[in-house]
Chains A and B, each alone.
Chain A
């Protein structure tokens, strides 16, 4: 009997306390900083193109084979506005298959893919959860704004930084080369 009475006191005490429920559609609980939502592609604003070069390493390493990618030659590389020879042409993630493990982010060496904060992607059509390049970039944009994301390896991956660095190296080379033979100076732009 004393156990029952103790239990009844425990339950009645909650009548006076605030419920812990969050009213979902009105009230969204904040996601944690490290939250891993669906993967998204990031945009290199210095060149106006995605970081992704379509190297396929994430496609190969994905445990569920949820991604597919296709690359093509980067027209901006020939313009000299980007340091990427190849650029992603088509990228599709089947979000129904994705298990949010984050392996694609671990293996990517171009800072191109990140686990975004997106987690409310319900759709009415079964094919509605196939995310194409535009949607992935849009999600990536949102993620960059929310998290203040910075590339891990800007010198290698950000077009503006990489081009500037190469230009500086070329300039240094040219400056150094004025004493020596001037033949190499044109190669610096690449």
Chain B
């Protein structure tokens, strides 16, 4: 009998999610941890799979828009816009200019709402309780505006193939101007509260760094890629709608860490506000819907259209067989593609950093799982 025993320390498997408060829905990370250090991470997805792409094959083009509302459920109008643009490209329709302005205003406001939600939930992930309340307060104003324009607060079904459902209410322009001023103040308040807070900086600077080659090879897009230093923005590089008429800045980061990804979104909030104001200045009276048949029936063919969602580059591949229902709809969801970068970012991370890194990717599970 020997009294000598050898002890072997094994890494611990830690299931984070699908019911963990910091995974923003039903995302599951299996962390292999050595004490507080994260050795490896395996993402598991699919808990919110609803088969949207397959469902879309059995719905008419008008009905598919309601499915797109439910992909990225914090940026609904951006999703509607991308599908409508794809169908329009296929049908060769050009929406009237006023319709395009309304679309862009609503899409930029929705980007703002999405970023405000991101800032709030990111602060919650890092343990600060207040920014989410401020963010929700401003988002509430934006949603009230959406309610007065589209009739719904989240699932709008407002952007239609060939334009928008109906013209904006008469008090739209002054109302959006007042809203833009209010939201600007709100964003500044959150900015002051959080951005250069020492604890926040300590938690996010140099955490989850990803360099440009890795980011590009992972297919990272949106604020995540811009934070690494690549000025890729679909609005800038593939002009569409009325974006070419606007002047704006594409913020670009330096280090590609969590703080940069956060700060890109704060800066984009200001840019979105300026874009909304420019659109209001330029908008003129006119029709909002193109002349077209009531039931969309695109000719046989296929098209790939992409646009800039709050989370990155969203793409829609649409195949039509000439009927009133799409033959195939494939979505390139930015959240899903950004998740690929999770593993390279998790190098040398602590458990607390894992939460910060996942939060900085700003995934929406409705879009990841579709």
Q: Which residues of A contact B (CB under 8 A)?
A: 1-4, 6-7, 10-11, 20, 31-36, 61, 63, 99-103, 106, 115
Contacts and interface: CB of A to CB of B under 8 A. Distances in A.
Given A4-B198, A33-B169, A101 B66 contact: yes
Nearest to A7: B193
A32 B148 contact: yes
Contacts of A101: 63, 66, 69, 155, 157
Which 8 A/B pairs are nearest by Cβ-Cβ distance?
A36-B151, A32-B148, A3-B196, A63-B63, A34-B151, A101-B157, A3-B197, A32-B147
B345 to A, nearest CB: 25
B192 A10 contact: yes
Contact of A100 (B67, B152, B194): B152
A181 to B, nearest CB: 41
Interface of B: 59-60, 62-63, 66-67, 69, 130, 137, 140, 144, 147-152, 155, 157, 165, 169, 189, 192-201
22 contacts: A1-B198, A3-B195, A4-B197, A6-B196, A7-B194, A10-B189, A10-B193, A11-B193, A20-B140, A32-B147, A33-B148, A35-B151, A35-B152, A61-B60, A61-B63, A63-B67, A99-B66, A99-B155, A101-B155, A102-B151, A103-B66, A115-B151
A103 B62 contact: yes
A36 B137 CA distance: 22
A3 B198 CA distance: 6
A63 B151 CA distance: 18
Contacts of A36: 150-152
B201 A3 contact: yes
Contacts of B165: 102, 106
Contacts of A31: 147
Contacts, number: 71
Contacts of A115: 151
A4 B296 CA distance: 56
Contacts of A4: 197-199
Which residue of A20, A63, A100, A103 has the most chain B CB atoms within 10 A of its CB atom?
A63
B192 A7 contact: yes
Contacts of B192: 6-7, 10
B157 to A, nearest CB: 4
Nearest to A6: B192
A132 B151 CA distance: 24
Given A34-B148, A103-B157, A20 B137 contact: yes
A116 to B, nearest CB: 11
A1 B60 CA distance: 58
A6 B140 CA distance: 25
B63 A103 contact: yes
B161 to A, nearest CB: 12
A49 to B, nearest CB: 27
A146 B248 CA distance: 43
A61 B295 CA distance: 11
Contacts of B148: 32-34
Given A4-B197, A6-B196, A61-B63, 20 more contacts: A1-B198, A3-B196, A3-B197, A3-B198, A3-B200, A7-B193, A7-B197, A10-B193, A32-B148, A32-B151, A34-B149, A36-B152, A100-B152, A100-B155, A101-B66, A101-B69, A101-B157, A102-B151, A102-B157, A115-B151
Contacts of A6: 192-193, 196-197
A176 to B, nearest CB: 36
Contacts of A34: 147-151, 169
Nearest to B194: A7
Contacts of A35: 147, 151-152
A64 B189 CA distance: 42
Given A3-B198, A101-B155, A32 B193 contact: no
Contacts of B198: 1, 3-4
A99 B66 CA distance: 9
Output the residue of B59, B63, B200 with the most chain A CB within 10 A: B63
Nearest to B65: A101
A33 B137 CA distance: 21
